[in-house]
């Protein structure tokens, strides 16, 4: 074997989103100077043992052979980066790369199975539209392909059930929809500022990932936004600030599907409305229609009822309220004993589409339990319990 290149070890650790202290702990280095010893290895001052390399391989989610590369490989392909980030990137960037890399790996395994199935036909809607077709045409194509009924969506009891309705439509059309907000533990939580969602356009195995740390009322909007990316054949990652032309286009498609422009005429909010009154009226309007308040504020801006400054201030205020409510909910949850069953939570995050695909593939012999665990992102021993629920429960 060739010698280990220190810069490869640094690359592997950083792209796994681990600090020196966190990596030293995961690798099993003991003592106060553990991170210093790891740093010495990364500087080339000490040679890592094979046992340490094996632990690094597991901690960094890289194959052992990867650590023997002569140089770090080119940056993983996220597709297009549709986010508008501050001048200094968020600390979550390595985690975002690791997440996209993980989902691409899962997607490639799913695609390889589907390619061998003679009954599977390519999905014609992937890349079927372009921006010059216009917002209305793209929205209409999505609505017709999914069989999406906005009245049925709003008839659901709450935002969670409304999202479940929309997600089921998307998965029935052949899109795998995952809810993921970290790399497996709360230590790797990804803030919404790092990414809100991303789409991997593929005519056999399209994937959409939604950051489940976002407000639940925003999940449906994000899903429709990412579906618009699929219709445009645009693989990429989206953030909280949709400044680019394509992002605004996808925002407009999503919001037009959830809220027709005519409905807003009945909302008594205009340029002269006090901000507090506008927030109150928007909140009631959004709750009744199972949509996010920020989306309503955005639509009011688009039709000229509020200024861009007011829209941004309202969106920031709604976000702050949501963060405060989420933190309070977490505190209450910590004070209570127990919590939701692991497998119930995991099924919800994976979605029926992927669970049913894995179940069928195991039964057909197309996937081994070990490969199925990689597709699902769980340990092999968790595959059977995950699939033990009846299909209607895997939501």
Q: Does residue 379 sit within a domain?
A: yes
Q: What angle do CA 64, 68, 71 make, to 5 degrees?
A: 130
Higher pLDDT, 256 or 64: 256
Residue where a domain stops, chosen among 258, 282, 313: 258
Decide if 38 contacts 27 (C-beta within 8 A).
yes
CA distances from 70 to 2, 17, 43, 58, 170 (A): 8, 21, 15, 20, 43
- Regarding whether 128 and 226 lie in a shared domain, the answer is yes
- Regarding whether 172 and 53 lie in a shared domain, the answer is no
Decide if 341 contacts 384 (C-beta within 8 A).
no
Position 394 scores a pLDDT of: 40
- Regarding whether 239 and 92 lie in a shared domain, the answer is yes
Q: Does residue 93 sit within a domain?
A: yes
- Regarding whether 17 and 91 lie in a shared domain, the answer is no
| Rounded Cα–Cα distance for residues 360 and 354 (Å) | 10
Q: Long-range CB contacts (< 8 A, 24+ apart) of 325-329? A: 326/215
- Regarding whether 246 and 215 lie in a shared domain, the answer is yes
Q: Does residue 198 sit within a domain?
A: yes
Is the pLDDT reported for residue 177 higher than 70?
A: yes
Q: Does residue 275 sit within a domain?
A: no
For tokens 């976002």, what's the residue? Answer: 214
Position 145 scores a pLDDT of: 98
Hey, which of 91-105, 181-195, 277-291 has the most confident mean pLDDT?
277-291
pLDDT class for 240, splitting at 50, 70, 90? Answer: low
pLDDT digits (tens, 9 = 90+) for 104-159: 888 989 999 999 999 999 999 999 999 999 999 999 999 999 999 999 999 999 99
Region 301-325 average pLDDT: 88
pLDDT digits (tens, 9 = 90+) for 322-343: 888 878 877 776 666 656 688 9
- Regarding whether 99 and 14 lie in a shared domain, the answer is no
- Alpha helices by DSSP H, the chain: 6-15, 20-27, 34-42, 50-60, 93-115, 135-146, 150-155, 159-172, 216-231, 245-258, 275-289, 293-302, 308-335, 342-364, 369-376, 383-387
- Regarding whether 92 and 60 lie in a shared domain, the answer is no
Higher pLDDT, 360 or 295: 360
Dig out the tokens for 351 from the structure.
Answer: 């979605």
Q: Does residue 38 sit within a domain?
A: yes
pLDDT digits (tens, 9 = 90+) for 5-61: 999 899 888 877 788 988 999 899 988 789 999 999 999 999 999 899 989 988 887
Position 326 scores a pLDDT of: 77
Decide if 208 contacts 256 (C-beta within 8 A).
no
Q: Does residue 327 sit within a domain?
A: no
> Could you list the residue range(s) of the whole structural domain that residue 16 is in?
6-68
Mean pLDDT over the full length of the chain: 86
Position 274 scores a pLDDT of: 92
**pTM score, two decimals?**
0.77
Q: Does residue 366 sit within a domain?
A: yes
Q: Does residue 170 sit within a domain?
A: yes
């Amino acid at each position: 074997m060739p010698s280990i290149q220190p810069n490869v070890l640094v690359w592997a650790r950083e792209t796994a989103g681990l600090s020196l202290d966190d990596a030293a702990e995961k690798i099993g280095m003991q003592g106060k100077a553990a991170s210093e010893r790891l740093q010495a290895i990364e500087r080339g001052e000490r040679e890592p043992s094979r046992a340490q390399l094996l632990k690094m391989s597991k901690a960094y989610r890289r194959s052992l052979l990867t650590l023997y590369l002569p140089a770090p490989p080119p940056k993983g392909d996220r597709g297009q980066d549709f986010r508008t980030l501050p001048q200094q990137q968020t600390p979550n960037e390595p985690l975002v790369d690791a997440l996209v890399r993980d989902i691409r790996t899962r997607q490639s395994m799913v695609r390889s199975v589907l390619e061998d199935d003679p009954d599977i036909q390519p999905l014609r809607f992937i890349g079927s539209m372009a921006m010059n077709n216009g917002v209305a045409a793209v929205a209409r194509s999505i609505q017709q392909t999914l069989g999406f009924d906005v009245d049925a969506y709003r008839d659901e009891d709450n935002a969670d059930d409304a999202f479940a309705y929309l997600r089921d439509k998307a998965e029935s059309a052949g899109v795998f929809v995952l809810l993921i907000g970290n790399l497996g533990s709360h230590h790797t939580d990804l803030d919404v500022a790092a990414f809100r969602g991303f789409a991997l356009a593929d005519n056999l195995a399209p994937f959409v990932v939604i950051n489940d740390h976002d407000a639940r009322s925003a999940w449906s909007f994000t899903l429709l936004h990412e579906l618009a990316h699929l219709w445009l054949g645009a693989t990429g990652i989206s953030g909280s600030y949709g400044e680019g032309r394509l992002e605004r286009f996808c925002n407009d498609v999503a919001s037009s599907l959830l809220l027709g422009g005519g409905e807003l005429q009945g909302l008594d909010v205009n340029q002269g409305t006090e901000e507090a009154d506008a927030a109150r009226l928007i909140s009631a309007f959004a709750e009744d229609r199972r949509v996010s308040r920020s989306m309503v504020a955005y639509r009011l801006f688009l039709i000229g009822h509020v200024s861009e400054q007011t829209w941004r201030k309202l969106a920031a205020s709604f976000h702050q309220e949501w963060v405060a409510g989420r933190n309070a909910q977490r505190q209450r949850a910590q004070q209570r004993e127990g919590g939701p069953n692991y497998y119930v939570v995991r099924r919800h995050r994976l979605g029926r589409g992927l669970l049913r695909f894995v179940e069928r593939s195991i039964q057909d012999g197309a996937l081994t339990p070990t490969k199925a665990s990689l597709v699902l992102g769980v340990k092999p021993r968790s595959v059977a319990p995950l699939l033990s629920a009846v299909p209607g429960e895997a939501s």
